[in-house]
Amino acid sequence: MSHDPDCIFCKIIKGEIPCFKLYEDERTLSFMDINPVNPGHALIIPKFHTPNFFEIPLDWLADTMTTTQKIARAVQKTLEPHGLNILQANGPGAAQSVFHLHMHVVPRGEDDGVTMNWGIRPGNMDEIGALSERIRANIA
Ligand code: 5GP
Ligand code: ZN
């Protein structure tokens, strides 16, 4: 599995920077987004550096989607949001800011005003950490 030394998500995979980890298996990792668009915003990544949806080998994509469903179910069970989006961006024109493929799990509130390209707003680390424990407890 190859990594990019300059990639923030590769650094998370290698444990060089911390994260609120939700789940990990041989090929995938899930953790909380530290700039949540809504509480419970989680990310799922393959554990090797691949920039986007076009490049990732199909078997790795399948494993990433399997973990995405696992995390989406846990977030849904924990927060019972009004709705939940699964999102993924390719290229700056789609507001991709980290060029290591990742799936977003975004709980939605009724009339929460979230648009497709939301702005980055730093979250409260205590709240994100507490929520990560609750979601972890619901991973089946
Ligand atoms: P994109 O804009 O590429 O679709 O999403 C990248 C996401 O990664 C953003 O939602 C951003 O908040 C998140 N992010 C960026 N840096 C970090 C980090 O160091 N840790 C965590 N947990 N999330 C990050
Ligand atoms: Zn990477």
Give 44-103 pLDDT, tens digit per residue: 999 999 999 999 999 999 999 999 999 999 999 999 999 999 999 999 999 999 999 999
pLDDT score for 82: 98
Separation between Cα atoms, residue 73 and residue 6, nearest integer Å = 32
- Would you call 104 a catalytic residue per the annotation? no
Would you list the domain boundaries of the chain?
8-136
Domain 8-136 CATH assignment equals 3.40.50.150: no
Q: What percent of the chain shows pLDDT beyond 70?
A: 100
Q: Evaluate if residue 1 carries a pLDDT over 90.
A: no
Separation between Cα atoms, residue 46 and residue 44, nearest integer Å = 7
Which numbered atom of ligand 1 lies nearest the CA of 11? 19
> Model-level pTM greater than 0.85?
yes
**Would you call 90 exposed, middle or buried from its count of C-beta atoms within 10 A (0-12, 13-18, 19+)?**
middle
Residue 58: φ, ψ to 5°: -60, -35
Q: For residue 117, what pLDDT band results from cuts at 50, 70 and 90?
A: confident
**Would you call 30 exposed, middle or buried from its count of C-beta atoms within 10 A (0-12, 13-18, 19+)?**
buried
Angle between helices 125-136 and 58-79 (to 10 degrees): 100
pLDDT score for 50: 97
Three-state DSSP class for residue 134: helix
Question: Which residues have CB atoms below 5 A from the ion given as ligand 2?
Answer: 4, 7, 9-10, 49, 100
pLDDT score for 129: 98
Amino acid found at 134: R
The vertex-101 CA angle with 115 and 43, nearest 5°, equals 60
The pLDDT of 129-138, averaged and rounded, is 98
The Cβ of residue 94 has, within 10 Å, a number of other Cβ atoms equal to 13
Top mutation candidate among 6, 8, 38, 53 for ligand 1, by most atoms within 8 Å of CB: 8
